Amino acid sequence: MLLLDTEEVPADERVEAFRAALLSASVPSLVGMEEDGERVFARMECWRFGDLVLFASRSSGWSVSRSPRFLRLEGPPMVSLSLQAHGTGRFGQSGRRDLVAPGELMLNDLTIPYDFAWSGSGAARSLQVPYDLLAVPPDIVRRGAGRLRASPLYDLVRDHLARVHADADALAGDPGAAALGTATVELVRALITSASGVDAHARPAAAEALLPLVLAYARAHLTEPDLTPARIAHAHNISVRALYRLCARAGLSLEQWIVEQRLEGARSTLLSPAGRTRTVASVARAWGFTDPSHFTRRFRAAYGVTPRRLRAAPPGPAG
Which pLDDT tens digit goes with each residue over 1-28? 899 999 999 999 999 999 898 888 887 7
How far CA 58 is from CA of 107, 120, 279, in Å, comes to 19, 11, 51
Residue 280 has pLDDT above 50, yes or no: yes
Are 305 and 240 part of one and the same domain?
Answer: no
Q: What is the CATH number of the domain that holds 81?
A: 2.60.120.10
CB-based contact 160:213 (threshold 8 Å): yes
Are 7 and 149 part of one and the same domain?
Answer: yes
What is the model's pLDDT at position 161?
A: 95
Strand partners, 78: 130
Average pLDDT of the residues in 83-94: 96
Are 124 and 230 part of one and the same domain?
Answer: yes
Measured distance CA(133)–CA(152) in Å, rounded: 23
CB-based contact 59:5 (threshold 8 Å): no
Are 95 and 57 part of one and the same domain?
Answer: yes
Give 173 or 318, the one with higher predicted confidence: 173
Are 96 and 215 part of one and the same domain?
Answer: yes
pLDDT above 90: percentage of residues in the chain: 55
Are 234 and 101 part of one and the same domain?
Answer: yes
Domain membership flag for residue 21 = yes
Are 203 and 300 part of one and the same domain?
Answer: no
> If pLDDT is split at 50, 70 and 90, which confidence band does 311 have?
confident
Domain membership flag for residue 319 = no
Are 239 and 271 part of one and the same domain?
Answer: no
Domain boundary among 252, 276, 295: 252
Residue 319 has pLDDT above 50, yes or no: no
Domain membership flag for residue 13 = yes
Domain boundary among 201, 227, 252: 252
> If pLDDT is split at 50, 70 and 90, which confidence band does 47 have?
very high
What is the model's pLDDT at position 197?
A: 79
Are 102 and 139 part of one and the same domain?
Answer: yes
Domain membership flag for residue 318 = no
Domain membership flag for residue 259 = no
Are 299 and 170 part of one and the same domain?
Answer: no
Average pLDDT of the residues in 290-299: 92
Amino acid at 87: G
Domain membership flag for residue 75 = yes
* Lowest mean pLDDT across 106-115, 198-207, 210-219, 221-230: 198-207
Are 177 and 282 part of one and the same domain?
Answer: no
> If pLDDT is split at 50, 70 and 90, which confidence band does 215 have?
confident
Residue 201 has pLDDT above 50, yes or no: no
Residue 203 has pLDDT above 80, yes or no: no
Residue 202 has pLDDT above 90, yes or no: no
Domain that holds residue 271: 266-312
Are 228 and 127 part of one and the same domain?
Answer: yes
Give 275 or 280, the one with higher predicted confidence: 280
Domain boundary among 203, 221, 252: 252
Domain membership flag for residue 257 = no
Cα 270-275-281 angle, rounded to 5 deg: 70
Question: How many structural domains comprise the chain?
Answer: 2
What is the model's pLDDT at position 56?
A: 96
Average pLDDT of the residues in 191-211: 67
Amino acid at 162: A
State pTM to two decimals: 0.63
Residue 289 has pLDDT above 80, yes or no: yes
Q: What is the CATH number of the domain that holds 302?
A: 1.10.10
What is the model's pLDDT at position 316?
A: 54
- Residue 164, classified by CB atoms within 10 Å of its CB into exposed (0-12), middle (13-18) or buried (19+), is buried
CB-based contact 94:123 (threshold 8 Å): no
Domain membership flag for residue 201 = yes
